[in-house]
Amino acid sequence: MDSRSWLFPAKGTLACALMAGASMFYGCDGGTSTPSGHTFPARDHQCAAGAATPCMTTEPESPDANRTVELPNTFMDRTITYVVATASLPQMMGGRAAGFNVDNLDSGAGSMAADANCQEYTPDFVSVTDANHRGVDNALQGLVGTIEGLLDANDCPGMMTRGCLDATLQRQILEGDFLLLMEVGGINDFTFDSSVTVQLYLGTASGTLMEAPGGGLAGGQTFTRGMALGAPVTGDIFNGRLRVQTPSLPLNINAGGFELNLVVTQAQVRFDITENRLANGVIGGVVTVDAIVMAAVAIMPGIEDTVRSVVESVADVSPSADPQVCTALSLGLLFTGVDATY
């Protein structure tokens, strides 16, 4: 729990009141007491104490008491629509990466053991958006430089291949070619809510899109709701952060002549939520090697062997019959959002 907490009325010493207000769940006599309220599920896990990496992340990062709060229920169910305003495919940043732990394994810096499989050999990270989420998998970040090296500078904003993927994603958003709407329903509080629904849609601009002064889409614009991306998924809001998991999520990555239409499985989405803005958003999950190869071949026939070799060299999920070769790779996408209307 962080400093966002309540001060509960309590008898006794000031120290006792402050401890209760900080939701520490200690009795005034120094002993522990059973926490009351709703216990949110553990969504961040770690290895057992003292375990050497690689190790399975089986232990909740925080005890039940730290995830138990009285639900505020500030208002009746509300439904708010947001649109993704910025998006990026970041590369590793000082041991941190975008994405999630999709294989329930923390390989640390990567195992050099002779019998290590492709999951254990590949380094894992700490989440760049969720400091307590460990074992983050993001193999796609290792391909960003390779993909950009294959691009024609004429297809890149500013005629620069370095950073072309991010710049192209942002151009697609501002030009209305990649508009992702997020409809969040059943909101009773923006800090703690045990159950909210998230439905994703493709969107179409209803007019000329406006850019915010600091970049990205401006809030308050109107869109036409298009195809639903899967069914509504139930999640929660814990400490101002909405967390949801979905079995699959279609994702489009387009950079000039290089386009990938992929289905992300084991997908998770998290973001800080307020009434008119989403911040520190991250989408992560898994895509199969075969899906990437098929998408690439549809664009450039005859490139199958090259693409498969490159992708398999970084694939980090689902070892095949050959444990050194994985059949899928992980990815992470960062985003922000602003309020929108249909």
| Domain-embedded: residue 55 | no
Q: Does the residue 10 lie in any domain?
A: yes
> Which residues, other chains included, contact 334 with Cβ-Cβ below 8 Å and sequence gap of 6+?
87, 88, 89, 90, 98, 128, 129, 281, 282
| 286 and 139 together in one domain | yes
pLDDT tens readout for residues 194-222 = 999 999 998 999 889 999 999 999 999 99
Gap between the Cα atoms of 161 and 173, Å rounded: 19
Together in a domain, 27 and 82: no
More confidently predicted of 253 and 61: 61
Pairing of strands 68-69, 317-319: unpaired
pLDDT at 286 over 50: yes
CA–CA gap between residue 62 and residue 20 (Å, rounded) = 18
| CA gap 273, 211 in Å, rounded | 21
Task: Give residue-wise pLDDT tens across range 157-172.
Answer: 888 888 888 888 899 8
| pLDDT at residue number 209 | 97
| 89 pLDDT higher than 80 | yes
Give tens-digit pLDDT for 213-246: 999 999 999 999 998 888 899 999 999 999 999 8
For position 297, what pLDDT does the model report? 78
**Do both 21 and 89 map to the same domain?**
no
Q: What is the pLDDT of residue 32?
A: 44
Please tell me the predicted confidence (pLDDT) of residue 298.
Answer: 73
**What does the pLDDT look like over 112-134, one tens digit per residue?**
999 999 999 999 999 999 999 99
- Who has greater pLDDT, 6 or 280? 280
The pLDDT value recorded for residue 252 is 60
State yes or no: pLDDT of 79 exceeds 70: yes
Kindly state whether residue 305 falls inside one of the protein's structural domains.
Answer: yes
Same domain, residue pair 171 and 274: yes
Residues 300 and 245 in one domain: yes
Mean pLDDT of the chain: 86
Is the pLDDT at 49 greater than 90? The verdict is yes
Amino acid code (one letter) for 9? P
Domain annotation covers residue 28:
yes
pLDDT for the residue 212: 97
Alpha carbons 173 and 84: distance in angstroms, whole number: 8
User: Residue 174 pLDDT more than 60?
Assistant: yes
| Residue 42, in any domain of the structure | no
**By percentage, how much of the chain surpasses pLDDT 90?**
64
Domain span at 197: 78-341
Q: What is the 3-state secondary structure (H, E, C) of the chain?
A: CCCCCCCCCCCCCHHHHHHHHCCCCECCCCCECCCCCEECCCCCEECCCCCCCCEECCEECCCHHHHEECCCCCCCCEEEEEEEEEEECCCCECCEECCECCCCEECCCCCCCCCCCHHHHCCCEEECCCCCCEEEECCCHHHHHHHHHCCCHHHCHHHCCCCHHHHHHHHHHHCCCCCEEEEEEEECCCCEEEEEEEEEEEEEECCCCCECCCCCECCCEEEEEEEECCCCEEEEEECCEEEEEEEEEEEEEEECCEEEEEEEEEEEEEEEECCCEEEEEEEEEEEEHHHHHHHHHHHCCCCHHHHHHHHHHHCCEEECCCCCCEEEEEEEEEEEEEEEEC
Residue 1 pLDDT > 60: no
Angle (nearest 5°) at CA 94 between 93 and 98:
40
- Would you place residue 12 in the very low, low, confident or very high pLDDT band (cuts 50, 70, 90)? very low
pLDDT tier at 281 (50, 70, 90 boundaries)?
Answer: very high
Asked if residue 251 is part of any domain, the answer here is: yes
> Using one digit for the tens of pLDDT, what is the confidence trace for 293-340?
887 777 677 888 988 999 999 999 999 999 999 999 999 999 999 999
Q: What is the model's pLDDT at position 6?
A: 33
Least confidently predicted of 45-54, 119-128, 288-297: 288-297
Residues 99, 5 within the same domain: no
Q: Does 40 reside within a domain?
A: no
- 66 within a domain of the structure (yes/no): no
Instruction: Return the pLDDT at 299.
Output: 66
In this structure, the answer to whether residues 2 and 108 fall within a common structural domain is no
Q: Are 113 and 192 members of one domain?
A: yes
Question: By the 8 A CB rule, do 85 and 217 touch?
Answer: yes
Domain match, 22 and 160 both: no
> What is the distance between the alpha carbons of residues 141 and 222, in angstroms, rounded to a whole number?
33
* Total structural domains within the chain: 2
Q: For the chain, what percent of residues have pLDDT higher than 70?
A: 86
Q: What is the pLDDT of residues 131-163, one digit of tens each?
A: 999 999 999 998 888 778 877 788 788 888 888
Which two three-digit tokens encode residue 321?
């019959």
* 22 and 171 inside one domain: no
**Pair (102, 8) in one structural domain:** no
Tell me, what's the pLDDT at 4?
38
Query: In this predicted structure, what is the pLDDT of residue 314?
Result: 93
Residues whose CB falls within 8 Å of the CB of residue 38, separated by 6 or more in sequence, listed in order = 68, 69, 70, 71, 192, 194
Same domain? 248 vs 323: yes
| Structure token pair of residue 83 | 């649109």
Here the tokens at position 279 are 């911040």
